[in-house]
């Protein structure tokens, strides 16, 4: 049955009092209506059974990463009200999938994640495997260029150990594959080895103990345009700009800090105060984006990032510390005793390598992620940030489920101390000529929509959430939980001739299909 999930603000306020599925879309000239058309369940909860998705317009098929089985599930979307699995691709270690003109590319990490990974190519119509090529360590995301001639791969190179004498941290890199020949060239970061001090001075975060710059940099997500790739370096709070023709890193761009002391950037910092309390605090946000996409406006290219935040927490090395366990500088924080209370900043998780004085006392507190999306110019400079809008949106539309976790219902406020709603996936699509960003909120769930017509002043244009807050997450009765991959299907390519949004939900193992109407 088709469920329409677009409400006026008055209706939304009534629905938000109910414990069941909640959703809304602001009624504005730029607002969108998102309606749940159908859902496919892989039948596994909490195992990554539905993550990244890709769509082939010719066959009307959706390809879904099923990390739990080490496959790509192939769904028939000719009737999006009833997606059904028609095939699987054997892809052990699959992390990401992309499709262009009937060709499917799948990124696969090795059994030992620090070893070289691979990319396998399949025919979309038959599932026939065409070739497999070797790339860098832990290929975490890949995408075709717009002309389909290249596949660009973010080789994250995540560490397995930071223990003294047993450091196992491969280099991060970006592979560029020639689709016609299968030839692989790899853009590396070795030119920056030995330049840690200069990079840190610019604002690039280099934090892995006893490793080189190339080992520390961890490519996460890619968007491409006309021979250039922009690659998020999430843990490093930076972007790499890659020349695809030369397969060379052109620049590493720091993304700066977000001042949460400003009212527009307020946040809820405590999970132990049993209330919604969004207000300014003397901390800085480290954007640390996961997904990135781009769009054009008035002849210029802009980037959109989902500022999730991420930490490294390995044996012998951890990035996180709670404010109440940190020694604060009395000069920088004369009211430290108050700030370290649980209802203030005491519970807040901050970067352990935040700036300190000569005595090792923190002079600045930096938190993981921006709890926001950002629009940036092609050179990486900040054009606009959503500030506190995402937390304010959830507080307004789902007050009873504010900053829920994605592992269980009945988890009110439990993520306020650590990245809040956690925007992870983002994609840009045009609806009736207007560019929109569709943002997946990993924790509480749902998709937030922003109208990007004015890149310097985007507007909220809707929110849909098909999580069932009366269900049981572990039992698989909670609807769509943990959105990860967010995919826009243009009306021209859609089986319904209206735009679609296809969302892979990592926790619930469901692939949800929404219809988009202006």
What DSSP letter does each residue of 99-110 carry, written as one string? EETTEEEEEE--
Helix, strand, or coil (residue 111):
coil
Specify whether the backbone of 419 is left (phi greater than 0), alpha (psi in -120 to 50) or beta: left
The pairing of beta strand 300-307 with beta strand 292-297: antiparallel
Instruction: Report the run of H or E that residue 389 belongs to, with start and end.
Output: helix 389-397
State the Cα–Cα distance between residues 478 and 49, nearest whole angstrom: 15
CA atoms of 332 and 275, how far apart (whole Å): 28
Burial-class residue 381 by CB neighbours within 10 Å (0-12, 13-18, 19+).
exposed
pLDDT of the residue at 30 = 57
Residue 117: half-sphere exposure toward Cβ, Cα within 13 Å: 34
Q: How far apart are CA 223 and CA 202, in angstroms?
A: 23
Q: Using DSSP bridges, classify how beta strands 53-56 and 434-441 pair: parallel, antiparallel or unpaired.
A: unpaired
Instruction: Work out the angle at residue 321's Cα, subtended by the Cα atoms of residues 317 and 324, and round it to the nearest 5 degrees.
Output: 155
Domains and CATH numbers, the chain: 1-30+287-310+372-485 (no CATH), 52-254 (2.120.10.30)
Q: Tokens representing 466?
A: 């098909």
Helix (H, G, I), strand (E, B) or coil at 179: coil
Check if the beta carbon of residue 479 is closer than 8 Å to that of residue 456. Answer: no
The rounded distance, in Å, linking the Cα atoms of 103 and 113 is 26
CA distances 8 to 16, 258, 499, Å, are 12, 32, 22
- Containing 294, the helix (H) or strand (E) segment is strand 292-297
Tell me whether strands 366-368 and 284-286 are parallel, antiparallel or unpaired: parallel
Determine the Cα angle at 442 with ends 441 and 444, to 5°. Answer: 75
Q: What is the pLDDT of residue 3?
A: 37
Q: What is the pTM of this model?
A: 0.94
C-alpha separations of 140 from 109, 135, 143, 233 in Å:
8, 11, 11, 12
Q: Which residues of the chain have pLDDT under 50?
A: 1-29
Residue 137 neighbours by CB under 8 Å, 6+ apart: 109, 110, 113, 114, 115, 116, 117, 155, 156, 157, 158, 170, 171, 172, 173
In sequence order, what are the beta bridge partners of 63? 54, 74
First to last CA, the chain: 21
Task: Report the pLDDT value the prediction gives residue 18, as an integer from 0 to 100.
Answer: 31
Q: Which two tokens stand for residue 180?
A: 């016609």
8 A C-beta contact, residue 153 and residue 141: yes
């Amino acid at each position: 049955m088709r469920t329409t999930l677009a409400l006026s603000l008055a209706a939304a306020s009534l629905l938000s009092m109910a414990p069941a599925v909640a959703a809304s879309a602001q009624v504005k000239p730029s607002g969108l209506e998102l309606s749940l058309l159908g859902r496919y369940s892989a039948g596994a909860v909490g195992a990554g059974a539905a993550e990244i998705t890709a769509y082939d317009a010719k066959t009307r098929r959706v390809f879904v990463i099923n990390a739990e089985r080490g496959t790509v599930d192939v769904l028939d979307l000719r009737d999006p009200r009833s997606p059904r699995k028609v095939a699987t691709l054997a892809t052990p270690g699959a992390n990401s999938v992309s499709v262009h003109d009937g060709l499917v590319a799948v990124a696969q990490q090795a059994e030992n994640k620090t070893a070289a990974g691979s990319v396998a190519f399949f025919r979309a119509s038959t599932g026939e495997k065409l070739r497999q090529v070797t790339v860098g360590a832990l290929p975490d995301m890949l995408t075709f260029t717009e002309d389909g001639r290249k596949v660009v791969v973010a080789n994250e190179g995540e560490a397995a150990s930071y223990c003294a004498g047993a450091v196992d941290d491969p280099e991060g890199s970006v592979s560029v594959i020639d689709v016609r020949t299968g030839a692989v060239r790899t853009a590396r970061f070795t030119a920056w080895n030995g330049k840690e001090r200069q990079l840190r001075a610019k604002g690039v975060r280099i934090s892995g103990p006893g490793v080189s710059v190339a080992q520390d940099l961890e490519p996460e997500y890619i968007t491409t345009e006309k021979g250039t790739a922009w690659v998020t370096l999430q843990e490093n709070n930076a972007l790499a700009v890659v020349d695809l023709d030369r397969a060379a890193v052109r620049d590493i761009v720091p993304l700066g800090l977000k001042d949460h002391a400003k009212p527009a950037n307020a946040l809820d910092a405590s999970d132990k105060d049993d209330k919604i309390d969004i207000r300014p605090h003397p901390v800085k946000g480290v954007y640390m984006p996961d997904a990135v996409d781009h769009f054009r406006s008035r002849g210029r290219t802009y980037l959109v990032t989902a500022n999730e935040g991420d930490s490294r927490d390995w044996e012998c090395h951890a990035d996180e510390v709670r404010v109440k366990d940190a020694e604060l500088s009395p000069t920088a924080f004369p009211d430290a005793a108050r700030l370290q209370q649980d209802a203030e900043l005491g519970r807040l998780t901050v970067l352990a390598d935040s700036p300190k004085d000569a005595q090792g006392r923190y002079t600045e507190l930096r938190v993981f992620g921006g709890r926001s999306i950002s629009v940036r110019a092609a050179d990486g400079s900040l054009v606009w940030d959503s500030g506190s809008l995402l937390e304010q949106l959830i507080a307004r539309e789902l007050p009873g489920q504010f900053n829920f976790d994605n592992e269980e219902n009945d988890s009110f406020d439990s993520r306020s101390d650590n990245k809040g709603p956690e925007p992870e996936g983002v994609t840009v699509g045009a609806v009736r000529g207007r560019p929109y960003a569709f943002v997946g909120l990993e924790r509480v769930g749902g998709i937030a929509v922003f109208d990007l017509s004015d890149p310097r002043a985007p507007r909220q244009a809707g929110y849909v959430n098909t999580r069932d807050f009366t269900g049981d997450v572990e039992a698989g009765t909670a609807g769509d939980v943990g959105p990860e991959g967010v995919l826009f299907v243009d009306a021209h390519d859609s089986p319904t001739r209206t735009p679609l949004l296809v969302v892979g939900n990592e926790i619930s193992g469901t692939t949800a299909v929404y219809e988009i109407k202006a």
